[in-house]
Homo-oligomer: A and B are copies of this chain.
């Protein structure tokens, strides 16, 4: 089952997390505060951001990515999929039922 790693500006984080859960594209979303360090036009920048870790299913993954791209204020958002090697069976079942 995919965990989708998404970085978003703080002002957009709650809306994206709630929308994914509201529209049954994720069973739950863990939001974690982060500072992002990157280079832009030759300068090093530090931005406060939120990492969203969205717990979804194989079936819902594609639609979740499309929805995040629509809602995200940036043109090139960080959206990455990580698949777990194992998951507690009862949690996997709750997760699937929360989405389907």
| Distance, CA A49 to CA B32, complexed state (A) | 10
Q: What is the interface residue range for chain A against chain B?
A: 35 or more
User: If the complex has contacts A32-B33, A34-B32, are A84 and B76 also in contact, measured as CB distance less than 8 A?
Assistant: no
Total copies of the chain: 3
Q: Please tell me which one of the listed residues B18, B32, B33 contacts residue A44 in the complex, with CB atoms under 8 A apart.
A: B18
Which chain A residues numbered 60 to 100 have a C-beta less than 8 Å away from chain B?
61, 65, 69, 75-88, 90-91, 94, 98
Taking CB atoms, residues of chain B closer than 8 Å to A9 are: none
Give A26 Cβ to nearest chain B Cβ, in Å: 8
User: If the complex has contacts A21-B39, A76-B90, are A84 and B82 also in contact, measured as CB distance less than 8 A?
Assistant: yes
Give A28 Cβ to nearest chain B Cβ, in Å: 4
| Distance, CA A91 to CA B44, complexed state (A) | 18
Q: Which residue of B lies closest to A61 (CB)?
A: B86
If A22-B39, A82-B84 are given as contacts, then 5 extra A-B residue pairs at C-beta distance below 8 Å, sorted by A number, are A18-B37, A21-B37, A76-B91, A78-B91, A81-B86
